[in-house]
Structure 1
Amino acid sequence: MVMDLGGKEALLTAAAVVYGAVAGRLVPRAGYRLSVEPEEPWRSAGPCGHAVAGWLGRARCGVCGEGYGPGALLPAVVTALVCGALAAVVGARPELAVWLLAAPVAVLLAAVDRSVRRLPDVLTLPLAAGTAVLLGAAALIPGAAGSWPGALLGGAALGGGYFTLFLIHPAGMGFGDVKLAVGVGCALGWYGWQVLFLGAFAGLLLGAFYGVALLAARRAGRGTALAFGPFMIAGAWLGVLAGGAAAG
């Protein structure tokens, strides 16, 4: 019996949701270890004093069971929703594998930036390089809906744009945002310049709305530094969804 197209798409989406939930449950420990101030070493022990075993898994001590950092439920739910939406919109095209591999890293980056307003090189640089290389491989597979040169140009353009903003106002933007912009630009540029502009603008708009909301609620002042990485990542996700839908 041959499964119809709708059934295959539903199965792919369900598999992506399960994958996202599993991957999301593995990021809290890394999030705890990486959420430190600049120049500080990565955390190697929990608040209980016991050593943290490895990088992947729940943020819970394997010796005494004490939890540290955020729980695993929220990252699992967020990553599952992100991956499920990508699979539902992009479908079984080669670039979907790249998006699914990048999604847990992006969720981890957003969590670390939200916690300590820092985007570690150990995540941003591999994300940018991995996205560029894997999209190059995806472009060689029949059925790919994007352009690898467009991805490379997108990474250079968005990275250059954020670098310019950093030079103009370094107090308002960290250099980690510039490095993240390279990976974000590669992902968005894969689907073309319109998607690149859409995703970049969406990130800026989401960040602006959040800042205005904090000011209105008197939870922040005009000079308050905000973590911008989560909004860049959210904008990139929306842009990739739009690009995947248009390519379908």
Structure 2
Amino acid sequence: MSTATGLDSDLVVVLVAALWGAATGALLPRAAYRFSAPSGEAWRERCPGGHPVRGWLGRARCGQCAAGESGHSGEFGRSEQSGRSGQPGHSGESGHSGESHRPGRSGREPGQPRRSADARYGPRTAPLALVTALVCAALAAATGTRPEVAVWLLLAPVGVLLAAVDLKVRRLPDPLTLPLAGAALVLLGLAALVPEHAGEWSTALLGALVLGAGYLVLFLVNPAGMGFGDVKLALAAGAALGWYGWPTLMLGTFAGFLLGALYGGALLVARRADRKTAIPFGPFLVAGAFLGILAGAYAA
């Protein structure tokens, strides 16, 4: 009976985690768009049509564009900087100023009503919700009812958001990376006070310092291959991996580099990049940490 009860409780945790991931992932598209700003801007203030983007959570869809209202391209073209990320990046955004009202790209002259199909300005909701739900469900399945599962579920949506932003503009913004590291250490410290936890806060702290220092060395040796945003993200990854001990930290770190190497090799084979092409490493750092946490949680 006790075994059946334990299985039932674990299943409930996984289902709740999946629902949590789907709900939080559905709120990420607008933040993903806003943080996918060109280098020199902290975040985007306007949609590609020139209308102000209000709020951070929810769908990336502009109601004014859907209604056919014209925006103000002059205001949209200005850099509305509220802070600067420490990570150098590349824009690569189709909504960059100077092109949003150029005839020929959408077949619409300036001043003509915008079609409703142009109202979406960021990533789609369904993929982000699905990925976040799967990540949260996997973390819950590995961790069970131990108190640190709450920490992983709170950190996971931010990790998905960071990966999405880095894939888009090769940039990891400070408003996400530094608070994530602090939150990881604070939340794990609280989890360490709850009975039946399976990790150690001291190794989480040391893991953050060690992995952050390691990435800093890589950045100083080869700034073109490792961004400073990766260094700051490594603090959070080191804290999460270090919670389960040094073997987990090494495994998660190795997994991140392996995934990045496989991705780069695939691009070379497909002739979509050469040896000098820079790739966003943040998604692989996050994926490696995710795999390491899974392994550490199952082994705990």
Residue identity matched to 1:20: G
Which of these residues, 143, 155, 172, is aligned with residue 196 of structure 2? 143
Quick check: 1:80 aligned with 2:129? no
Equivalent-residue separation in structure 2 for 1:24 and 1:226 (angstroms): 24
Aligned twin of 1:24: 25
Equivalent-residue separation in structure 1 for 2:196 and 2:61 (angstroms): 42
Pair 1:222–1:39, CA change in 2 (3 A): same
Aligned twin of 1:33: 34
Equivalent-residue separation in structure 1 for 2:53 and 2:25 (angstroms): 18
Residue identity matched to 1:93: R
Equivalent-residue separation in structure 2 for 1:57 and 1:109 (angstroms): 16
CA deviations 1:169-204 (Å, max 9, x no partner) are: 111110000000000000000000000000000000
Which of these residues, 214, 221, 227, is aligned with residue 168 of structure 1? 221
8 Å CA contact 1:21, 1:76 repeated in 2: yes
Residue identity matched to 2:243: W
8 Å CA contact 2:60, 2:121 repeated in 1: yes
Q: Which one has the largest radius of gyration?
A: 2
Residue identity matched to 1:8: S
The alignment's TM-score, normalised by the length of structure 1, stands at 0.97
Unaligned runs of 5+ in 1: none
Which of these residues, 198, 206, 216, is aligned with residue 259 of structure 2? 206
Pair 1:139–1:41, CA change in 2 (3 A): closer
Equivalent-residue separation in structure 1 for 2:152 and 2:215 (angstroms): 22
Equivalent-residue separation in structure 2 for 1:206 and 1:111 (angstroms): 16
Equivalent-residue separation in structure 2 for 1:142 and 1:193 (angstroms): 22
Which runs of structure 2 are paired with 1:26-175 in the superposition (5 Å)?
26-65=27-66, 66-175=119-228
Equivalent-residue separation in structure 2 for 1:16 and 1:40 (angstroms): 34
Pair 1:31–1:191, CA change in 2 (3 A): same
Aligned twin of 1:14: 15
- After superposing on structure 2, the runs of 4+ consecutive aligned residues of structure 1 that deviate more than 6 Å are none
Aligned twin of 2:236: 183
Quick check: 1:228 aligned with 2:229? no
| Aligned-partner SS, 1:170 | coil
Aligned twin of 2:105: none
Identical-residue share of aligned pairs (%): 62
RMSD across aligned C-alpha pairs, in angstroms?
1.3
The alignment's TM-score, normalised by the length of structure 2, stands at 0.80
8 Å CA contact 1:53, 1:62 repeated in 2: no
CA deviations 1:194-232 (Å, max 9, x no partner) are: 000000000000000000000000000111110000000
Residue identity matched to 1:59: A
Which of these residues, 291, 294, 297, is aligned with residue 238 of structure 1? 291
Equivalent-residue separation in structure 2 for 1:181 and 1:44 (angstroms): 28
Residue identity matched to 1:98: V
Unaligned runs of 5+ in 2: 67-118
- Identify which range, 43-52 or 217-226, moves more after superposition: 43-52
Residue identity matched to 1:31: A
Structure 1 residue 64, shift from structure 2 partner: 3.8
| Aligned-partner SS, 1:227 | coil
Structure 1 residue 63, shift from structure 2 partner: 3.2
Structure 1 residue 41, shift from structure 2 partner: 4.3
Structure 1 residue 13, shift from structure 2 partner: 0.4
Equivalent-residue separation in structure 1 for 2:161 and 2:64 (angstroms): 24
Aligned twin of 2:109: none
| Aligned-partner SS, 1:107 | helix
Structure 1 residue 38, shift from structure 2 partner: 2.0
8 Å CA contact 2:9, 2:145 repeated in 1: no
Structure 1 residue 11, shift from structure 2 partner: 1.0
Residue identity matched to 1:156: L
Count of aligned positions: 247
